[in-house]
Amino acid sequence: MFGLTDLTAIEDSVTSTMDYNSASSPVTKFLGRPPKDALDLAKKASPVAYVDAKTPPTLIIHGEMDNIVNIHQAELLYNALVKAGVKTNLVRVKNAGHGLGPASQGAEVSPSAKEIEAMEVQWFRDAFGMK
């Protein structure tokens, strides 16, 4: 849900209020230096670098209006999973920001939190053969 997936592609997908290369950025703190100055380390810390045919089924949920982690990050993971032949689904949440809340006051988020919860339960049932 709405996470960074490729730390080497942050610059490509930034339409956010977060400067990932600043000293106060959580990514810079995690890597010990800005991602632009540590591409090898950023790649090692990126989930997309570890996607292969053995990756478990993955449900991705991301707000289309997320201004902290651009939805492009979710698309990168989704595309890597599809390329590897992994069962996956990307749910784009309309009018949702980071955390899936409304991106602006009065915006109607779709699917709703209740619908997302039902999707998650159904995903696990289908993906893992649960009843």
Domain residue ranges of the chain, discontinuous segments joined by +: 10-128
pLDDT at 12: 55
CB of 73 closer than 8 Å to CB of 9? yes
Alpha helices in 14-88 (DSSP H): 26-31, 39-44, 72-83
Mean pLDDT of 9-28: 75
CA–CA separation, 107 and 124 (whole Å): 29
pLDDT one-digit tens code per residue, 28-64: 999 999 998 999 999 999 999 999 999 999 999 999 9
pLDDT in tens, 54-97: 999 999 999 999 988 999 999 999 999 999 999 999 999 999 99
Superfamily holding 10-128: Alpha/Beta hydrolase fold, catalytic domain (3.40.50.1820)
